[in-house]
Amino acid sequence: MFKKILIANRGEIALRVIRACREMGIQSVAVHSTADADAMHVRMADESVCIGPPAGTDSYLNVPNLISACEITGAEAIHPGYGFLSENANFVQVIEDHGLKFIGPTAEHIRIMGDKITAKETMRKLGVPCVPGSAGGVDTIEEARKIADEMGYPVIIKATAGGGGRGMKVATSVDDIDVAFGTARSEGKSVFGNPEVYIEKYLQLPRHIEVQVFGDGKGKAVHLGERDCSLQRRHQKVFEEAPSPVITEEQRQRIGKTCADAVAGIGYAGAGTIEFLFENDEFYFIEMNTRLQVEHPVTEAIFGIDLVREQIRVAEGLPLSFVQDELVINGHAIECRINAEKVPEFRPSPGTVKQYHAPGGLGVRMDSAIYDGYKIPPYYDSLIGKLIVHAADRPTALARLERALSELVVDGVDTTLPLFDALLREDAVQTGDYTIHWLEQWLETNPEI
Ligand code: ADP
């Protein structure tokens, strides 16, 4: 058993991991930038180490300082959370070279899935259905035009190293292709350090459905159903739920088995998410995330399991604590991502939280690291909390969400809370009848929220 784990992250996800450690009797070490000295994760951990100035590159992404923090505190393993270094294969390599344990998959699996072209090729070979597109990278505009002509417009040009909704450009006709190709390449290079791009058919009315998988690193794996993350803004998830309102039990078991078999086939260790677009009852793989997702609590709610605990157990070399047949869905769960942003522009709104009151009651979980008087720093992601509700069925979960939102108070900064109040009044949200484009279109026609 690990005695001490360092958490290379901040905010709600650092708290999330600290909580799992405490329940498992494991000491936790928080790291923080100078801007986060008063942060809740620092207060809640058993120990803390300052790892640098505010900028992420100097602190939460500073590998030598993170390794030093392990050496100083005697932490044996590192949990990366999500974002920051969670999908950085070189970081995993350095951790292992120092005799420490990374709580997550191997560097090799992160590398394969971090490059979207290699990921797609790997998944295709493992029998996972993929979005039609170029066979590998596309190097010239001429080649891009030829492929798009053959495939038919619209197409999407994606940076192989892209992430977080960046490095993707849609071309609706031949007139757009030069600009889309150039922009995707230059964004790939400037943001992710790799200009390589590939082309996919742009699906026009899909939902975003992702399958949670878990491998033991020794060839066994299970799936934990799907999450539906179709409500998106700028290719970023806003509202997530499990199970999906449109997936049948037969579809769930079929795609779930395909995904579990695929990760078992490569000996994958720990939590992973295989993302699909779902259109006309077909699944199309887009990418795999080799880490815990922001929206993992909806899966935890409906299966009644702790995914972080399971990650730690697998990193310790223990077998999975459940077999596929034991994983039975109970009810419905929904998560809202609450950002410190002013709607409708979604402009970041750092500042001091004057008053914070978290909702409670049956089936309500609030994962947040804010508190009365907390100063939201301007340096990091604007996510300040996740509200998760769980109930027997979708209509009850929606009613519970509305009730929980009515109790939640965040004063002093602008937040995206008004968006969720407005969304719950929409028929499409109530019935679950929307595609990945619905929210963007709704925002255009509802500029007053
Ligand atoms: P990222 O790594 O930046 O999250 P993804 O490949 O996971 O990128 O895509 C993010 C989102 O972009 C998807 O959920 C979807 O909304 C949109 N998208 C990606 N590929 C396509 C496609 N081929 N057709 C339509 N939309 C797409």
Instruction: Quickly list DSSP for 392-418.
Output: SSHHHHHHHHHHHHHH-EEESS--SHH
Quick one: which atom of ligand 1 is closest to the CA of 232? 16
Residue-level pLDDT at 371: 98
Q: Is the CB of 165 under 6 A from ligand 1?
A: yes
Residue-level pLDDT at 448: 83
Q: Which of 170, 235, 438 to mutate to test the pocket of ligand 1 (most atoms within 8 A of CB)?
A: 235
Query: Which residues are identified as catalytic?
Result: 291
Q: Which residue has the tokens 């400037």?
A: 190
Domain with CATH 3.40.50.20 in the chain: 4-85
pTM for the predicted model, two decimal places: 0.96
Q: Is the CB of 234 under 6 A from ligand 1?
A: no
Residue-level pLDDT at 208: 98
Q: Is the CB of 235 under 6 A from ligand 1?
A: yes
- CATH topology for 207-445? D-amino Acid Aminotransferase; Chain A, domain 1 (3.30.470)
Quick one: which atom of ligand 1 is closest to the CA of 201? 23
Q: Which of 199, 286, 289 to mutate to test the pocket of ligand 1 (most atoms within 8 A of CB)?
A: 286
CA–CA gap between residue 112 and residue 114 (Å, rounded): 6
Residue-level pLDDT at 433: 97
Q: Output the tens digit of pLDDT for each of the chain's 449 residues.
A: 999 999 999 999 999 999 999 999 999 999 999 999 999 999 999 999 999 999 999 999 999 999 999 999 999 999 999 999 999 999 999 999 999 999 999 999 999 999 999 999 999 999 999 999 999 999 999 999 999 999 999 999 999 999 888 899 999 999 999 999 999 999 999 999 999 999 999 999 999 999 999 999 999 999 999 999 999 999 999 999 999 999 999 999 999 999 999 999 999 999 999 999 999 999 999 999 999 999 999 999 999 999 999 999 999 999 999 999 999 999 999 999 999 999 999 999 999 999 999 999 999 999 999 999 999 999 999 999 999 999 999 999 999 999 999 999 999 999 999 999 999 999 999 999 999 999 999 999 998 88
Which 3 state secondary structure label does DSSP give 379? Answer: coil
Beta strand 4-7 with 27-33: parallel, antiparallel or unpaired?
parallel
List, in sequence order, every residue forming a beta bridge with 47; answer none if it has no partner.
29
Q: Is the CB of 208 under 6 A from ligand 1?
A: yes
Of all protein residues, the one whose alpha carbon is nearest to atom 11 of ligand 1 is 235
Residue-level pLDDT at 43: 98
Domain with CATH 3.30.470.20 in the chain: 207-445
Q: For the chain, how far is it from start to end, CA to CA, in angstroms?
A: 50
Domain 4-85 part of CATH 3.40.50.20: yes
Considering the four listed CATH numbers 3.30.1490.20, 3.40.50.720, 3.40.50.300, 3.40.710.10, the one that applies to the domain covering 132-201 is: 3.30.1490.20
Residue-level pLDDT at 207: 98
Quick one: which atom of ligand 1 is closest to the CA of 202? 24
Measured in degrees and rounded to the nearest 5, phi and psi for residue 356 equal -135, 125
Q: Is the CB of 119 under 6 A from ligand 1?
A: no
For residue 429, the CA-to-ligand 1 centroid distance in Å is 21
Q: Is the CB of 131 under 6 A from ligand 1?
A: yes
Amino acid at 323: V
Q: Is the CB of 287 under 6 A from ligand 1?
A: yes
Domain with CATH 3.30.1490.20 in the chain: 132-201
Q: Which tokens hold the place of 410?
A: 């965040």
CA–CA gap between residue 265 and residue 218 (Å, rounded): 10
Residue-level pLDDT at 396: 98
CA–CA gap between residue 39 and residue 376 (Å, rounded): 9
Beta strand 27-33 with 47-52: parallel, antiparallel or unpaired?
parallel
CA–CA gap between residue 225 and residue 127 (Å, rounded): 18
For residue 235, the CA-to-ligand 1 centroid distance in Å is 6
287 sits in the region (left: phi over 0; alpha: psi -120 to 50; else beta) called: beta
C-alpha dist (Å) from residue 225 to 123, 406, 446: 18, 30, 33
